[in-house]
Amino acid sequence: MKDHFRLFARYNRWANDRLFDAVAALPEERFREDRGAFFGSLCGTLNHILVGDQLWMRRFEGAGPQPPSLDTILHPDLPGLRAAREAEDARILAFVEAQDEARFAGTLAYTNVRGERWEQPFSAVLGHLFNHQTHHRGQAHTLLSQFGHTPPELDLIYFMRE
């Protein structure tokens, strides 16, 4: 099972790099422009992905940043956000690499942002971290299209073919 999650950690890093390259090609004002997306703008959407990752990684590791809300703007500028994204992707990859196979068969007890306690299968919750990124990258992909830019291919199969 570790190989499965190692694949997703590497894929996430690849997809995030491609997405940030595409966003960097936009005029800066487009990055912050509210387009009515769930988190408003590309800035809001990409920050939300990072916030979610930080919250989950804190639950997994017991340490790290604790953003105050799901819509926190951690980095209002693209260079700062990209640097934080790259650091978080490296953290996720290192975390997956550090796990032994037994961990994937275990459970994770955690408290969500509403203060509710949960205990769920660790592998399912780790899978959620990757699925959450994919979901919101899809929203960012749509925003790029709305700006008239051809978004990059982000599907896992393209990563596997490279």
Residues 104, 122 contacting (CB under 8 angstroms):
yes
Query: For residue 17, what pLDDT is reported?
Result: 98
pTM (predicted TM-score): 0.95
Closest CA to 8 of 79, 95, 78: 95
Query: Could you tell me the residue ranges of all domains in the chain?
Result: 2-161
pLDDT band at 89 (very low <50, low <70, confident <90, very high): very high
CATH architecture for the domain at 2-161: Up-down Bundle (1.20)
pLDDT band at 95 (very low <50, low <70, confident <90, very high): very high
Query: For residue 122, what pLDDT is reported?
Result: 98
Per DSSP, helices labelled H in the chain are 2-24, 28-32, 42-61, 78-98, 101-104, 122-146, 156-161
The residues near 160 (Cβ < 8 Å, ≥ 6 apart) are 11
Residue pLDDT, tens place only, 103-149: 999 999 999 999 999 999 999 999 999 999 999 999 999 999 999 98
2 phi and psi, to 5 degrees? -60, -40
Query: For residue 103, what pLDDT is reported?
Result: 97
Query: For residue 87, what pLDDT is reported?
Result: 98
Query: For residue 35, what pLDDT is reported?
Result: 95
Query: For residue 119, what pLDDT is reported?
Result: 98
Query: For residue 34, what pLDDT is reported?
Result: 95
pLDDT band at 33 (very low <50, low <70, confident <90, very high): very high
Average pLDDT for 35-56: 97
